[in-house]
Structures are given as C-alpha cells and as structure tokens.
Amino acid sequence: MINYRLYYPALDEVDLADGFFEAWPQHPDKKTHRKILNNSFKSIVAIDDEKNQIIGFINIISDGVLSAYIPLLEVIPDYRNQGIGSQLMQLALKELDDFYMIDLVCDQDRVSFYEKLGMTECCAMVWRNYRKQSGE
C-alpha cells in the first residue's frame, strides 16, 4: 500500500529507494536527497509501506506568502504509471491552495501531464550549473 505524508524528521528512518534522479549525469546521493527533503518549504513523500521505502516525492520552495516553486517531482521507475506522481502533485497543490502563484519548469514531453492537473504552459528561462548538479 502506498501512503502519502508531509516529510518530517521522523521519516529520516524510512529508506529512500534506489532509482531517483534517473538519467541525471551527476545526481544527488541519498544524504543530499535527505537535505533536499528536509530543507524545502514542504516536501511530500509516497511511501511503500510493505517495503518501508520512499518511492516518490515532490518538494516545494516558497516565500510562504504569495509564491511557490516546485523544483522536483520524482517517482522511481518501478512505480511509474500508477498515479503516484499525479497524487503527489495534487497533494502539493492542495498544500499551496492559498498561494497566488505556483510555478514549475518541465521538459516539453511533460507539459501534458501538468496540464491535466490544471497547470498552464508558459515561457520560462533557466540557467543550469551542471558542475553542481549532484548538490555537492
């Protein structure tokens, strides 16, 4: 059974499954992944209770007043196409219901996923320092 929870320090005891940050040339290690979850404005995790593993997550960065940004939504490969990513996104949007703007940037092939959840495509600009992609 998959359960969804806001991330809090006691969940540091739940294992992070292998397979996050798929196809990243320099992905964060599990210690850095925990920092991402702990240091975000809010993080929501999907936990496979039978395996006692976090198998999906979404994190939110915010000013706590008007704006929020969703930098990461990840579900490990073995659990994809089961509605877990959609549920994580819906829970995040519910947490942010009182905010004026909620932004995220995604690859073009992910636009339809987010449109189905009520988001609108727009133009974005980014700069990436790939030397720091692992978070170290």
pTM for this entry: 0.93
Q: What is the CA radius of gyration of the chain?
A: 15
Per the CB < 8 A criterion, the answer to whether 13 and 121 are in contact is: no
In order along its 136 residues, the chain shows pLDDT tens digits of 999 999 999 999 999 999 999 989 999 999 999 999 999 999 999 999 999 999 999 999 999 999 999 999 999 999 999 999 999 999 999 999 999 999 999 999 999 999 999 999 999 888 989 999 999 8
Q: Which domains does the chain have, with CATH numbers?
A: 2-132 (3.40.630.30)
Separation of alpha carbons 116 and 86, rounded Å:
9
Separation of alpha carbons 36 and 105, rounded Å:
17
